[in-house]
Structure 1
């Protein structure tokens, strides 16, 4: 089903750290099915701030059986939406929330004894919390190893909840905190999460070759370094799943590229399929991305980051060719199957058809 926005009332705002708030939403009964989520998915929130429409994606931190829909928002210096969420939102406020999206998960297997491994930094813990709580509750024979990096003890998001979970799942949940600015804190690792730590911990906590699923969430340099280190010590690459928070290093809206254009015209005829409707418009080959042009012509396409990270604007290329400038979220099989990020794509042929209704 095509993702769509609905106005939801905020049920609860809970202060997790000095700069992070978690927000739970009331979901009306008639929308319950639309907001049923898979562990590891995210919500895109939309608000008008200072006269400007702002959209941001935040991961769901609830387990699938927690009975609530909750996201966590960490305040970013200069962040328009994160500042608004931390300082301005209160219970009873109404905000536009897109239906859940994202593929940062693996299917549950209640009859299996799996080994999960996760590396998170800062607010990267948010989707990991959803995955961790769900896996431990739904797979009673599985175990979970979490390595969680922060600057200080006070900046550990969900610290008390993680301790409660460790006590509830004794022997099945192992948590190691890594602090970069409190090296003397008793019982906690110091430094940062990187290749060296991966190799050290994998030698004592878990056999990397037997890991059924590894989840990495944090800034791009950490995620890429940990992914490479895990592969080096024997974790099969197809079992390593990653998600970046924020924009990757150097990420930006699709830049104009000198790809050869297979057309005698100056503009492509673009057709966008969404909710069974068609929107057609001309798009110069050196002009906007397909997403930007479609919005300019009145099509309300789903999007959030516009940097190739969130995958909200994913669609299937039904006809023609495009140049995709960046891709931080589509899996290789999706690219092979013809899926594109419309925020990063420009036409290369005289006719291009993209389908947002394709599953």
Structure 2
């Protein structure tokens, strides 16, 4: 299901976006809310459109609600576009190899169209791994894009659960390291400074692909990736009356968190039972950005300005983000009595 949203004129600047960015949809319902992150996926002929491609997902999630009940004229509550997933900047004539798994096609399809139109000498090879041909969302749009850029765009589908009578050929099996190397050869991709990669899909596919590309000789600086998970965002109960005041001085074992968000300084207290900084921040400030709570979407990315935190797996951050001091507050826990994080950084 594809949903195109009309943005009020006064907010068009706020919702201007580039390929690879995403928004968080907040769906309020009795007793709480559901948040879901969606990559912005405008059609090739209208790159400024604010369009979401929505799958059903969990029966009590936003996808099921949207497919069964969303109608023309309804209003959705969205965060502004965010995210740093993008193609590396390369000189004209580069080769962009894009690898998608399932719904990972949604940020990569607009990246492909943007690259082809921005650089009339580049090549784009898009590999989409899906269970069956019926799961290849956006296939029709990509076919039309292929017709427009017939000499510079290659689109291959890897069907992991569909027998097409082709034996063990690279297009009819689960994508592994050997299969990826054959596909790279098929699209004439060669390691070097003019070949860049963008990957988006589930953890297994990305782990396999990143290792295979490293062994193949790809420059790690030219491999960009974004992880997604099929699990829905957590259901968040509403609090009756959230406390917005800074509150008392933290007791021993508690941590005081200072937050910079939308140009304002806020405060919260991490208690002993909190699983992460996000739990404490939401208790005091329900508008703090987040979506998945699994370190995947990157919506709660913030820079640690002072103090220290430890964190579980932060899939949405790469080595450069970590080295620059960024963390995902949904995965981070404080290790010092005071911590300051900046969402605006």
TM-score range, shorter chain: 0.7 to 0.9
Is 1:242 the equivalent of 2:218?
no
Task: Go from structure 1 to structure 2 and tell me whether the alpha carbon gap of 1:350 and 1:133 turns closer, same or farther (over 3 Å shift).
Answer: same
The 5-angstrom pairing of residues 211-222 of structure 1 reads 212-222=195-205
Moved more, 66-75 or 161-170: 66-75
Task: Go from structure 1 to structure 2 and tell me whether the alpha carbon gap of 1:353 and 1:233 turns closer, same or farther (over 3 Å shift).
Answer: same
**Structure 1: stretches of 5+ with no match in the other structure:** 1-20, 253-262
Look up the match of 1:202.
184
Is 1:69 the equivalent of 2:50?
yes
Tell whether the 8 Å contact from 1:121 to 1:149 is kept in structure 2 after alignment: yes
Q: Which runs of 4+ in 1 moved over 4 A?
A: 185-188
Tell whether the 8 Å contact from 2:56 to 2:64 is kept in structure 1 after alignment: yes
Tell whether the 8 Å contact from 1:270 to 1:351 is kept in structure 2 after alignment: yes
2:209 and 2:88 mapped to 1: Cα distance?
Answer: 23
The 5-angstrom pairing of residues 93-108 of structure 1 reads 93-106=74-87
Look up the match of 1:145.
125
Measure how far apart 1:282 and its partner are.
2.8
Task: Go from structure 1 to structure 2 and tell me whether the alpha carbon gap of 1:188 and 1:320 turns closer, same or farther (over 3 Å shift).
Answer: closer
Q: Deviations over 1:195-235 (max 9, x none)?
A: 12111122232233035321111111011101111111111
Look up the match of 2:311.
324
The 5-angstrom pairing of residues 107-122 of structure 1 reads 112-122=92-102
Normalising by structure 2, we get a TM-score of: 0.87
Tell whether the 8 Å contact from 2:133 to 2:159 is kept in structure 1 after alignment: yes
Tell whether the 8 Å contact from 2:88 to 2:222 is kept in structure 1 after alignment: no
Is 1:227 the equivalent of 2:189?
no
1:155 and 1:54 mapped to 2: Cα distance?
Answer: 25
Is 1:55 the equivalent of 2:42?
no
- What is the aligned length? 326
Is 1:175 the equivalent of 2:155?
yes
2:205 and 2:23 mapped to 1: Cα distance?
Answer: 24
**Structure 2: stretches of 5+ with no match in the other structure:** 235-249
Normalising by structure 1, we get a TM-score of: 0.84
Tell whether the 8 Å contact from 2:201 to 2:226 is kept in structure 1 after alignment: yes
Tell whether the 8 Å contact from 1:285 to 1:346 is kept in structure 2 after alignment: no
Q: Kindly report the root-mean-square deviation, in angstroms, between the aligned alpha carbons of the 2 structures.
A: 2.5
Is 1:275 the equivalent of 2:262?
yes
Structure with the largest fraction of strand: 1
Q: Deviations over 1:263-296 (max 9, x none)?
A: 9932122211222322223323553411111111
1:191 and 1:325 mapped to 2: Cα distance?
Answer: 33
